[in-house]
Amino acid sequence: MVFSLIIPVYNEEATLDYSLARITQSCYALLDKGISEVELILVNDGSQDRSQQILKKWVAQSVNPKLCLKVLEFSRNFGHSGAVVAGLEAARGEIVGIIDADLQDPPELLARMIEVLELEKLDVVYGQRTSRIGDGPLKRLTAWIFYRFINLLTGVDIPRDTGDFRVMRKSVVKAVVSCRERDPFIRGVVAWVGFKQRPFPYIRESRKFGESKYPLGKMLRFAIRAIVSFSSKPLMLSLYLGILGLCFSFLVAIWVLLSWLHGGTVPGWASTSIAITLSQSFVFILLGIQGLYVARIHDEALERPRYLIRSED
Ligand code: UDP
Ligand code: MG
């Protein structure tokens, strides 16, 4: 059984030597545990530092035919999800794993994750962070809000506090790759494809070398993109507001008419008030109706498969 491990790399010169030493060590341990060959797919996501040279040095140094290293160098920085997708498309293993290059996800856990996958006949075992000792308070807070908010907005049950650290079967990899959307929210897409999945609790370590490639601004863009590609609820907002506004404007109309019948109102006030509240609600409702169609187009544009089959007898 071949195991492919995908490692996205972006400006990681400070950590690569340490990371690859620990990751290859963990992969050697897999060779004694029923894995016949390990394929490390190192995706250099357009690094501007010495990452590429370091990766090439590791390829040149590799001697064990049972652990092969493959480097994919991007022409520029395409982002973490692009790097992972490239790795998924290149992977030829029956089991495929994803791990960050900064050792925040302990590679030693891969053996146990594969064991759980095999023993329980699962399709995905995903790492779930029970603690993020390594991340600062801001990262922890934004991540906490993000995972709760995205589940509220989307129909897909995206597991909380997970990253892309996971192992999955070839069938799942094929399903994920068949979702043709650009810049996918990987952990969302893996949740969306279904199959039998289980969390694997672990403690997320701190980054020892180099710095995070996800500062606040980039994280915010990431979060917005994730929400937009998994939820059309924001598009429906104006429809709901319009319907609510319409109910409200009927109440306003009754109040205005009663005041007008009572007399003493300024000429023109009653008709103007009713016209404004009603027309505002209609505009919102019409926008919402357009939103329904935009959501439909958005659904089509994602080019996700209509269904996925897990097994056939
Ligand atoms: N990464 C990447 N392309 C990018 C940004 C990050 O391939 O544009 C890689 C990075 O090298 C690392 C992983 O994605 O292996 C996670 O990035 P990072 O550790 O900076 O994110 P954080 O853990 O802080 O969320
Ligand atoms: Mg990290």
> What confidence score (pLDDT) does residue 166 get?
96
Asked if 225 and 246 sit in the same domain, the reply is: no
- Decide: 102 in ligand 1 pocket, CB within 6 A: yes
Q: Is the CB of residue 82 below 6 angstroms from any atom belonging to ligand 1? A: no
Percent of the chain residues past pLDDT 90, beyond the cut: 66
Whether residue 285 is contained in a domain is answered as yes
pLDDT attached to residue 120: 95
Residue 218, domain member (yes or no): yes
- φ, ψ at 120 (rounded to 5°): -95, 10
Tell me how far apart the alpha carbons of residues 147 and 27 are, in angstroms, rounded to a whole number.
Answer: 31
- For residue 45 and ligand 1, the question of a CB distance below 6 A is answered with yes
pLDDT at 149: 83
Asked if residue 19 has its Cβ within 6 Å of ligand 1, the reply is no
Residue 128 lies inside a defined structural domain of this protein: yes
In a domain, 84, yes or no: yes
What pLDDT shows up at residue 197? 96
Radius of gyration of the chain (CA): 26
The reported pLDDT for the residue numbered 138 is: 82
**pLDDT digit string (tens) for 254-283?**
999 898 888 878 888 888 988 999 999 999
Residues 97 and 169 occupy one common structural domain: yes
What is the C-alpha to C-alpha distance for residues 154 and 230, in angstroms, rounded to an integer?
Answer: 6
Instruction: Give 11 Cα–ligand 1 centroid separation in angstroms.
Output: 9
Q: Is 80 in the pocket of ligand 1 (CB under 6 A)?
A: yes
The 3-class secondary structure across the chain, one letter per residue, is CEEEEEEEECCCCCCHHHHHHHHHHHHHHHHCCCCCEEEEEEEECCCCCCHHHHHHHHHHHCCCCCEEEEEEECCCCCCHHHHHHHHHHHCCCCEEEECCCCCCCCHHHHHHHHHHHHHCCCCEEEEEEEECCCCCHHHHHHHHHHHHHHHHHCCCCCCCCEEEEEEEEHHHHHHHHCCCCCCCCHHHHHHHHCCCEEEEEEECCCCCCCCCCCCHHHHHHHHHHHHHHHCCHHHHHHHHHHHHHHHHHHHHHHHHHHHHHHCCCCCCHHHHHHHHHHHHHHHHHHHHHHHHHHHHHHHHHCCCCCCCCCCCC
pLDDT band at 122 (very low <50, low <70, confident <90, very high): very high
Q: Residue 148 above 90 pLDDT?
A: no
Question: Which of 184, 212, 231 is where one domain is finished?
Answer: 231
Residues 266 and 177 in one domain: no
What pLDDT, in 10s, does the model give residues 215-261? 888 888 888 888 888 888 888 899 999 999 999 999 999 999 898 88
Does ligand 1 have an atom closer than 6 angstroms to the CB of 9? yes
**Would you say the CB of residue 10 lies under 6 angstroms from ligand 1?**
yes
The answer, yes or no, to whether any atom of ligand 1 lies below 6 A from the CB of 83, is yes
Neighbours of ion ligand 2 (CB under 5 A): 100, 102, 104
Which listed ligand is nearest to 214 at the C-alpha? Answer: 1
Q: Report the domain count for the chain.
A: 2
Q: What domain range includes position 255?
A: 234-301
Residue 213 alpha carbon to ligand 2 centre in Å: 7
CA-207 nearest atom, ligand 1: 19
Same domain, 242 and 201: no
11 Cα to the center of ligand 2, angstroms: 12
- What predicted TM-score, i.e. pTM, was given to this entire model? 0.87
Band (114; pLDDT cuts 50, 70, 90): very high
CA of 230 to the centre of ligand 1 (A): 22
Atom of ligand 1 nearest to the CA of 45: 7
Is 311 inside a domain boundary?
Answer: no
pLDDT tens for residues 275-305? 999 999 999 999 999 999 999 999 898 889 9
Question: pLDDT band at residue 214, thresholds of 50, 70 and 90?
Answer: confident
Residue 78 Cβ inside 6 Å of ligand 1? The answer reads: no
Residue 295 has a pLDDT of 92
In a domain, 312, yes or no: no
- Cβ–ligand 1 contact at 12 (below 6 Å): yes
- Ligand closest to CA 49: 1
The pLDDT of residue 46? 95
